[in-house]
Every structure is written in C-alpha cells, then in structure tokens.
Amino acid sequence: MSSQNVSAKNISEFVILGFDTVGHIPCVLQMCAFHLGVVMEMFAIAAMALDRLIAISNPLRYHSILITTHTVVIGVAVDGGPPV
C-alpha cells in the first residue's frame, strides 16, 4: 500500500520534470521506507492473527485473556504505539 504513493510521486517527477536518474540517497530512503511499511504490515497481520487465535481457541475467556495491558503491549510491539 505505501509503495503506491511513493511510486506515483516518482513517476510524475520523471515525466513532468524530465529527470532521468535517481540519486543514491533518495533511492536508499525510498527503499527503507518501503521495507519499513512492509514489516509494519506483516506485524499488524500477525497481531490480528493472534487476536483471532485467542478468540477461536478460548471464546469464553477472550476478554479475560486480552485485557487492556496485553492489548497495549501487542500494539507497542506492532508499531511502537498504543492502539487507537
């Protein structure tokens, strides 16, 4: 998802402004941003899978297992901040 916005910006720069090369630093920054987005997306999907695993395997204890502190810990582990 995040790569679509970056690619559209770069394509418009190449077409409109006539650039023919990409500098080393912008290329590395774009690569790091893309990989960071991919990794965060993978962790978010893993957290959702953990949530569904607990809900399916322990449906009656779901709310006692995933108390607020556990949810905040999972949120911090996924993207560095508490879930909203």
Q: Encode pLDDT of 21-66 as tens digits.
A: 777 888 888 889 889 888 888 888 988 999 999 999 999 998 998 8
Is the pLDDT score of 17 beyond 50? yes
The confidence band for 1, taking pLDDT boundaries of 50, 70 and 90, is: very low
3-state SS, 18-50, equals: CCCCCCHHHHHHHHHHHHHHHHHHHHHHHHHHH
The per-residue pLDDT for 40 is 85
Query: What is the distance between the alpha carbons of residues 12 and 19, in angstroms, rounded to a whole number?
Result: 10
- Token readout for 54 is 């607990």
Q: Which of 10, 53, 46 is nearest to 29 (CA)?
A: 10
| Full domain range(s) for residue 72 | 2-79
Which residues, at least 6 apart from 44, have a Cβ–Cβ distance to it below 8 Å? Answer: 78, 79
- Residues 56-80 have a mean pLDDT of 85
Residue 84 covered by a domain:
no
Residue 11 covered by a domain:
yes
Number of domains making up the chain? 1
